């Protein structure tokens, strides 16, 4: 309805449908009047470019009855067919979707595919070294807590999760078992990767495990270990023994809320991590973020090096590994289908008699 003064467009999303209604905006001002708002005083924060004003987000609307189920649904098969037809995919036989047969070999291949995460995964050990513990492996592994600054640093590395209620198929836990390794652990994630921290202070110590083998089976098998050295003495690489630890990130708390960060690595990775050998001074608020980035850098270098020793193929991300597995899986299904078609054909040799 087009009246004078313009139109108004309203969207009614109730019931999961979209409706448009047009109404006339009444003219309440005289023609030619200046309707722009007058100048408003600016706050102090608005004049500082590095401190933008953040408007609070409005609370999410409560779900409608249709959001709770019972409304119209779209069949996944129908949606796939629409995307398949619209994508301009070639219509050759090998490019068409394949219906997987319900066989044990196919089920086994699907399970192997599920073992490859669809994002990058990293696991990093975390150790706290108290006063007088710089050369005592048992004392370091026996720590159940650290200083207040260590606690703040640890909490900044990630998010504390209750692994008893966490689905290991959705969150990478790096082999942690709540029955032996404690209930709470720190995990960090973004859109492309997930990192789990094997913090010794969060793992329980038992009287029957005097050698702390349960802790060392995780931290000793990590490629990177973060050492929060609060002893005041120099920590030597190898104090906490681990077969696969390629690099240590040493954090030494200093006065005035500052910290010294240095990286010590094995000779095999000096070429890739040599630029991190120079110590850096970092403030407490930025410590966790920088250490996490350094740990990811060191861990990726160690993964590439370790895989290059086991196979001649270059390092491949989890996404590429999944893609390769799917291609092998597809070839296997096509081969089985061809064999079934060949075995089912009846050949007529009467023409050769």
Q: What is the pLDDT of residue 181?
A: 93
Q: What is the pLDDT of residue 262?
A: 94
Q: What is the pLDDT of residue 48?
A: 40
91/42 Cα distance (integer angstroms): 62
Sign for the pseudo-dihedral over CA of 242, 248, 254, 259: negative
**pLDDT one-digit tens code per residue, 68-82:** 445 567 787 777 666
* Beta pairing, strands 280-283 & 258-265: antiparallel
Q: Which residues pair with 342 in a beta bridge?
A: none
Query: 168-175 — which CB contacts under 8 Å span 24+ positions?
Result: 169/114, 172/117, 172/119, 172/121, 172/123, 172/196, 174/121, 174/123, 174/198, 174/218, 175/123, 175/218
Query: Which residues 6+ apart lie within 8 Å of 17 measured at CB?
Result: none
DSSP states of 77-102:
HHHHHHHHHHTT---SGGGS--PPP-
Q: What is the pLDDT of residue 281?
A: 96
Mean pLDDT by 10 residues, the chain (353 residues): 45 43 42 50 44 46 48 70 60 64 84 88 96 93 94 96 90 91 94 94 90 92 96 91 90 96 92 88 96 95 88 82 88 82 61 52
117/41 Cα distance (integer angstroms): 53
Count Cβ atoms below 10 Å from residue 147 Cβ, excluding itself.
14
Residue 164 is classified by DSSP as T
User: What are the structure tokens assigned to 168, written together?
Assistant: 């290991």
Q: What are residue 184's phi and psi, to 5 degrees?
A: -120, 140
Count Cβ atoms below 10 Å from residue 212 Cβ, excluding itself.
20
Q: Which residues pair with 19 in a beta bridge?
A: 12
Token pair 């313009």 is found at 6
Which stretches of 19-155 are assigned E, i.e. beta strand?
19-24, 120-129
Which stretches of 180-257 are assigned E, i.e. beta strand?
184-189, 193-199, 224-229, 247-253
Q: What is the pLDDT of residue 312?
A: 74
Count Cβ atoms below 10 Å from residue 125 Cβ, excluding itself.
27
Which stretches of 141-273 are assigned E, i.e. beta strand?
159-162, 184-189, 193-199, 224-229, 247-253, 258-265
Q: What is the pLDDT of residue 28?
A: 42
Cα angle for residues 260, 226, 199 (degrees, 5° grid): 135
Sign for the pseudo-dihedral over CA of 215, 220, 221, 227: positive
278/170 Cα distance (integer angstroms): 38
Q: What is the pTM of this model?
A: 0.69
Query: Which residues 6+ apart lie within 8 Å of 257 measured at CB?
Result: 283, 284
């Amino acid at each position: 309805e087009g009246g004078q003064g313009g139109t108004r467009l309203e969207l009614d999303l109730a019931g999961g449908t979209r409706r448009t209604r047009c109404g006339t905006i009444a003219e309440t001002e005289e023609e030619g009047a200046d309707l722009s708002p007058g100048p408003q005083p600016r706050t102090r924060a608005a004049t500082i470019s590095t401190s933008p004003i953040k408007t609070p987000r409005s609370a999410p609307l409560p779900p409608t009855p249709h959001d709770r189920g019972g409304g119209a649904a779209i069949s996944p098969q129908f949606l796939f067919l629409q995307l398949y037809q619209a994508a301009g995919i070639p219509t050759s036989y090998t490019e068409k979707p394949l219906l997987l047969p319900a066989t044990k070999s196919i089920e086994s291949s699907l399970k192997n595919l599920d073992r490859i995460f669809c994002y990058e995964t990293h696991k990093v050990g975390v150790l706290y070294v108290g006063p007088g513990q710089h050369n005592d492996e048992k004392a370091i592994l026996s720590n159940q807590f650290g200083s207040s600054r260590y606690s703040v640093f640890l909490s900044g590395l990630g998010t504390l999760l209750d692994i008893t209620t966490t689905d290991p198929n959705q969150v990478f836990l790096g082999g942690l078992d709540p029955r032996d390794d404690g209930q709470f652990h720190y995990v960090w994630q973004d859109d492309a990767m997930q990192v789990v921290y094997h913090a010794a202070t969060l793992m329980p110590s038992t009287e029957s495990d005097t050698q702390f083998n349960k802790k060392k089976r995780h931290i000793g098998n990590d490629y990177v270990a973060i050492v929060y050295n609060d002893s005041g003495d120099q920590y030597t690489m190898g104090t906490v023994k681990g077969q696969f630890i390629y690099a240590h990130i040493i954090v030494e708390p200093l006065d005035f809320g500052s910290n010294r960060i240095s990286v010590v690595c094995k000779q095999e990775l000096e070429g890739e991590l040599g630029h991190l050998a120079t110590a850096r001074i970092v403030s407490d608020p930025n410590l966790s973020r920088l250490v996490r980035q350094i740990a990811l850098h060191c861990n990726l270098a160690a993964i590439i090096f370790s895989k290059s020793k086991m196979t001649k193929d270059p390092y491949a991300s989890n996404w590429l590994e999944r893609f390769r597995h799917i291609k092998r899986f597809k070839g296997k299904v096509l081969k089985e289908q061809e064999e079934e078609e060949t075995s089912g054909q009846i050949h007529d040799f009467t023409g050769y008699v």
